[in-house]
Structure 1
Amino acid sequence: MKLYYGRISTTDGQTSATQYEDAKQHGVDRKHVHIDEGVSGYHVAPSDRAEWKRVEDKLSNGGVLYVRWLDRISRRYDELHATMQRLMAMGVRVECTLNGMVFDGAATDAIAKATRDAVLAFMAAQGEADYLNRREMQRRGIEQAKRTSPEKYVGRARAADAESVVAWRREHGASIAATAEEFGISPATVKRYCAQQASA
């Protein structure tokens, strides 16, 4: 079985159309393309995403999984490493369409497995480091812009009323942290809004 997994956050510039086209170019039937949209790869674990759960169910007996890059699965080292090891244990072959890198769960040679796992660990660590570095550079850039041109800097307006926040979280299956980041509010506020809507 050949599957394709895609994930689209609100900031990475990817679209479902480009990922469906990527899957088509690699011979994956559209019915086996699974894309989680509006989901942070850093704040929302793979196990908390609806489409990813379907991917793991379909691959329980092995198969080939195409992803554009490993960060589509997760941008956190621990989560990506654990998820990939789970796939490897199921005998899944993971292929990255961006550069052809392959992680083969069917490998039996000890050296091949050790090399695979070492490269995987490095890529997982690099993915998290790159994400955190970009966030830090973005934060510094915003702070600099506010200092040098406060009259020109306008942040993204967000509707942060309880109904909008809870509806967005439900629609995207997002965590408290990811929802707080999306609306620029605190996790405590998100929790309060969820409680208010539940009681209503």
Structure 2
Amino acid sequence: MDTTHKDRRNAISTILYCRTSTVEQTLDHQLTQAQQAGFKIDEVIADPGSSGVSTKLRDRPQGKRLFDKLRSGDVLVVRWVDRLGRNYEDVTTVIREFMEMGVTIRTVINGMTFDGSTGDPIQKAVRDAVIAFMAATAQSQVEITKAAQKAGIDAAKNDDTKYRGRKPSYDRRTYDAIVDLVGKQMGDSAIARTTGVSRQAVIRIRNNPDLALKALQRWTG
């Protein structure tokens, strides 16, 4: 009997889940951090950062795949617990759900390990308290960052020479090409592939070309 496929299916996997957004949070950087911390990663699953800040893990493009792929005995590695949810409730719920599945969660930062193997009520209480503390800290950091960003934007808005908003991912030539292709009834995904910009940028230009052009002009003069 050929048991190769069965053995591969039942083998324990170590999966790194990443959110990628800033220079410090690229896929390569997070993978390198995990490897330097001693993790031997079998597979990396990653979502763009914009999909993780306001979306539950199950609803993220690759988050659902993560739930489908993990099996009892697998190890889920994350940079920190904030990768797993939008807020305190999300993070604690996801961690408990994974533990109930028999998955062990390990963090690169602080080297924390969470699993459901213990049956001792005191150890459970300590574990759950640590999870709650880390989830609360993660939410607090997100709220502090948002508040700081808003304060910076509000201050910059008072100085018209400084505030320009987020720099567009397209230049004038690309903008004109997108507008032309929109006029030819080409689909958003096809336009994105043709022009090399994100589908979200194409949609913004399609929905409000004048606003998109003004955003570009603030950066190009």
By the TM > 0.5 criterion, same fold?
yes
Select the structure with the greater relative contact order (CA < 8 A; seq sep ≥ 6): 1
1:146: Cα distance to partner? 2.3
Taking structure 1 as the reference length, what is the TM-score of the superposition?
0.71
Match of 2:72 among 46, 54, 61: 61
Number of aligned residues: 170
1:39–1:138: structure 2 CA closer, same or farther, 3 Å change rule?
closer
How far apart are the structure 2 equivalents of 1:126 and 1:38?
A: 19
Conservation of the 8 A alpha-carbon contact between 2:56 and 2:86: no
Match of 1:6 among 10, 18, 21: 18
Task: Look up the match of 2:61.
Answer: 50
Query: Which protein is bigger by CA-based radius of gyration?
Result: 2
Task: Look up the match of 1:107.
Answer: 118
* Range 104-113 or range 36-45, more displaced: 36-45
Task: Look up the match of 2:196.
Answer: none
How much is the aligned-residue C-alpha RMSD, in angstroms? 3.0
| Residue identity opposite 2:20 in structure 1 | I
Taking structure 2 as the reference length, what is the TM-score of the superposition?
0.65
How far apart are the structure 2 equivalents of 1:55 and 1:61?
A: 13
How far apart are the structure 2 equivalents of 1:108 and 1:125?
A: 25
State the identity as a percent: 37
1:22: Cα distance to partner? 2.9
1:39–1:60: structure 2 CA closer, same or farther, 3 Å change rule?
farther
Conservation of the 8 A alpha-carbon contact between 2:91 and 2:135: yes
Match of 1:140 among 151, 171, 193: 151
Match of 1:153 among 148, 163, 175: 163
Gaps of 5+ in 1: 172-178, 191-200
1:51: Cα distance to partner? 2.6
SS of match in other structure, 1:44: coil
How far apart are the structure 1 equivalents of 2:118 and 2:65?
A: 24
Conservation of the 8 A alpha-carbon contact between 2:15 and 2:77: yes
1:62: Cα distance to partner? 2.8
Q: Does 1:22 align with 2:33?
A: yes
